[in-house]
Chain A
Amino acid sequence: MNDNDAKRMLWVSHMVRIRDTQDQAAFKELFEHFAPRVKGFLIKSGADASLAEECAQEVMATCWHKAHMFDPARASVATWIFTIARNRKIDVLRKQRRPEPEDLGWGPEEDPDQADVMALQQDCEQLGRAIEDLPPAQRELIQRAYFGDLSHSEIAEQTGLPLGTIKSRLRLALERLRHAMK
């Protein structure tokens, strides 16, 4: 496990501390790292600075309130905060409802297998590094797809990002959960 993987596991343990003991110190560290990135994402998605500030605060508050919903075997902390920010963006900037899929019928496992958690967090780290290693033009393409000023087909295919591993790992996790519920 390298430093970056360790950092990701640290964010995961911060989420657990927020969930279990309402740990404000852990939340402050999480806030200082992620809130400016949420704000940047919202500004690039078309919000002005004061709206982005307000929404980023709401996103981080939601992160606290919904800490019990975070599943480290299925998402990194960055992924999870991104989905909250994305939903806020649709709500506030695009003024639309966002239809969500049916819940799987159960929350995150109480004590997910640490090996599964670690594997998924490492996949995400690898994905993050792959984005950084892309030629700038390709990286910009992906960013623009997520900031909403480009709808481009098969960007991930073209840039050869390692999404396949994450897809199959998530697929396995879902199978395991479905099996456990039978």
Chain B
Amino acid sequence: MEHEIKHHLTDDVLMGYAAGTLPEAFNLMVATHVSLCDTCRARAESFDALGGEVMAQTPGNDVAMDTDSFAATMSLIAGGAPDEIRMPRDAGSILPGPLQDYVGGGVDAVKWRSVGMGVKQAILPTSRDASARLLFIPAGAAMPDHGHKGTEMTMVLQGAFQDEDDYFARGDVEIADSDLHHTPVADIHEDCICLAVTDAPLEFQGLLPKIAQRFARI
């Protein structure tokens, strides 16, 4: 394995992923992180086990099937397995498989838009209850200081960044909520590429970023 991941997903996010109750953008974050992190893969699967028990073991959760149900299922089976369309994935890409599906390829296929100061972003197509985007921060550059409504999770895919408290490298997830104002700075050695998801629009301080926010949807 590469860099040892130190900053993981929280239990409530992993449980929400297992339950299937998270916004699509958050599911994308979990699938991307779990692709790189066996610890969180095991944690997520243990919440699947909890779901299995909730579904199967709790008394009174069963509802009678229709009388012809088994026969109907056997004819579904006789009809054959539905085709699964899977895009080819490139194991060598810095984008884990689930992200390649949303980008439509590797990092070369990302449609970046500049948001100023060399920072670029690409919004990914997910359901509207939350948003997911890729961020490109030039080596050594700072993101504008911004506060948050709701929850924001940022995971490093390439390079690294540092905020006031900690250092985040490939696979690490920074979790920020409404209390945190922070100014992440990309590590000097390499341009930093991150996946960021949030269930609310970010707030930038100062007028200029506000205008940029209106156009760029950050």
Majority SS of interface residues in chain A? helix
Task: Spell out B's residues near A (CB within 8 Å).
Answer: 1, 10-12, 15-16, 18-21, 24, 27-28, 30-32, 34-35, 38-39, 41-43, 45-59, 61-66, 69-70, 72-74, 76-77, 81, 89, 96-98, 101-102, 126-127
Verify if A37 is at the interface (C-beta below 8 Å from B).
Answer: yes
Rounded to whole Å, the gap between the CB of A178 and the closest CB of chain B is 7
> In the complex, are the beta carbons of A146 and B61 less than 8 A apart?
no
Closest-CB distance, B85 to chain A (whole angstroms): 12
A65 to B79 alpha-carbon distance, docked (Å) = 11
Count A-B contacts at CB 8 Å: 204
A86 CA / B32 CA spacing, docked (Å): 19
Q: List 18 A-B contacts (CB under 8 A).
A: A28-B70, A31-B70, A56-B65, A65-B81, A78-B56, A79-B49, A81-B52, A99-B27, A99-B101, A101-B34, A101-B98, A102-B89, A102-B98, A127-B50, A146-B50, A153-B12, A154-B11, A171-B42
A interface, CB within 8 angstroms of B: 24, 28, 31-32, 34-41, 43-44, 49, 52-53, 56-58, 60-62, 64-66, 74-76, 78-83, 85-87, 89-90, 94, 96-103, 123-124, 127-128, 131-132, 139, 142-143, 145-146, 148, 151-157, 161, 163, 166-168, 170-171, 173-175, 178
